[in-house]
Amino acid sequence: MRLGFIVERLLQLIPVLIGISLVVFLMMTLTPGDPVEIMLGDQLATAEQKESLRRDMGLDLPAAERFIRFVRNSLSGDFGRSFFHRRPVAEVIAERLPATIELTIVAMLIALAVAIPLGVLAAVRRGSLIDKAATVISLIGVSMPGFWLGIMLILLFAVHLGWMPVSGRIDYAFEVPRITGMILFDSLVQGRYAAFLNALHHILMPAVTLGLAMAALLMRVTRTSMIEVLQQDYIVFAEAKGLSRARVLVRHALKNALIPTVTVAALETGYLLGGNTIVEMVFGWPGLARVIVEGIYSRDFPLVQAGVLVIAVIYVTVNFAADVLYTLLNPRVKL
């Protein structure tokens, strides 16, 4: 029964993924400008050379055929060559993606670390000053444009106080051999603690900038679901049994109240992935989102196309996982 549900959801994923590839394909096909001219840039080429290049890139084929080729190549990890970086797009993406994933994970962890305690506190002391303050803070959090918050943090903590680095992932003095490409993880498992701390120092401001709005959202979700759970009979019963308040809150209430929080967190990963573009630009973070934006400046279409596709596929996959997890975790959903 449960396996059947997962298979069914997986099958539903297929048309969505095909649709996403089609949208990405159309986005780039309909873009005005001849890719061959853009790729050649200032280089001089004869009409024959251009023609043969066009044939090599498959641009002479009908659109439907090009789309099928695009999907087939993407599936095998072949995204063509980047006009700007002058090497395979897959290489550029593999190099940059870990930085984006790392930043997204840390931002999510910060958001959860802020949101859960605040949300629980607001729910337990419902209607109190703390509750009202938490609501106002969360509204401020969602109303602050990320790029401006990032710049204000740089202004205060990097430029004026000098406590934080302005940009980058780690100081040049440190060398961390690449395992996953996520520096925090790589340095930790290799026991390079100085490098780990330095990388942590670098990721703090970008991750806070990225995670703040998410923290605000998750705080409200936690508060709402906690209030709901606290009114359930089994909580009243647990308290009547004489269990301590802390034990009831953590062992009985929080465990159930967190299901919506975790689900919303996973469903809103797309928000973080989109926000990455801004944060990576502001903090000079060498991730995939920044490469996409730079690819647009340099009209590097294969790179932009593949980058958008990879991020959309990651997003859809995370959503799928969240959906399956929620259904399996939540005892109230009957399969």
Partner 1 sequence: MTAAAPSAAGRQDSILRINLRKFTRDRLAIAAAAGVVLFVAMALLAPWLAPHDPYDTDLLRRLQPPAWMEGGEWSYVFGCDSLGRDIVSRIIYGARISIFIGVAVVLLATLVGTLAGLAAGYLGGAVDGVISRIVDVLLGFPYLIFAIGLMGMMGPGLQNIILALVYKEWTISCRVVRGETLATRELEYVEAARAVGASRTHIMLREILPNIMSPLIVVATTRMATIIILEASLSFLGLGMQPPLASWGSMVADGRSFLSDAWWVGTFPGVAIFLLVLAINLASQGLRDAFDPRLRQ
- Site for partner 1, rule CB under 8 A: 15-17, 19-20, 22-24, 27-28, 30-32, 135, 139-140, 142-148, 151-152, 154-155, 159, 220, 223-224, 270-271, 273-275, 277-278, 281-282, 289, 292-293, 295-297, 304, 308, 311-312, 315-316, 319
- The least CB distance from residue 166 to partner 1, in Å, is 9
Q: Please say which residue, 5 or 320, places its beta carbon nearer to partner 1.
A: 320
- The least CB distance from residue 64 to partner 1, in Å, is 18
What is the rounded end-to-end Cα distance, in angstroms, of the chain? 7
- The least CB distance from residue 26 to partner 1, in Å, is 9
Residue carrying structure tokens 């790029």: 147
Phi, psi of 70 (to 5 degrees): -60, -45
CA dist., res. 147 & res. 281, Å (int): 9
Q: Please say which residue, 32 or 242, places its beta carbon nearer to partner 1.
A: 32
CA dist., res. 225 & res. 259, Å (int): 9
Q: Please say which residue, 152 or 189, places its beta carbon nearer to partner 1.
A: 152
List, in sequence order, the alpha helices (H) in the chain. Answer: 2-29, 35-40, 47-56, 63-75, 89-124, 129-143, 146-153, 183-189, 193-230, 233-240, 245-247, 255-267, 269-282, 288-297, 301-329
Q: Please say which residue, 256 or 277, places its beta carbon nearer to partner 1.
A: 277
CB count in 10 Å sphere of residue 10: 11
Q: Please say which residue, 195 or 217, places its beta carbon nearer to partner 1.
A: 217
CA dist., res. 90 & res. 285, Å (int): 19
- The least CB distance from residue 198 to partner 1, in Å, is 23
Q: Please say which residue, 98 or 146, places its beta carbon nearer to partner 1.
A: 146
- The least CB distance from residue 219 to partner 1, in Å, is 11
- The least CB distance from residue 194 to partner 1, in Å, is 28
Return the structure tokens found at 54.
């066009």
Point out which residues pair with 81 in neighbouring strands.
Answer: 88
Give the Å distances, CA to CA, from 289 to 166, 167, 207. 19, 15, 14
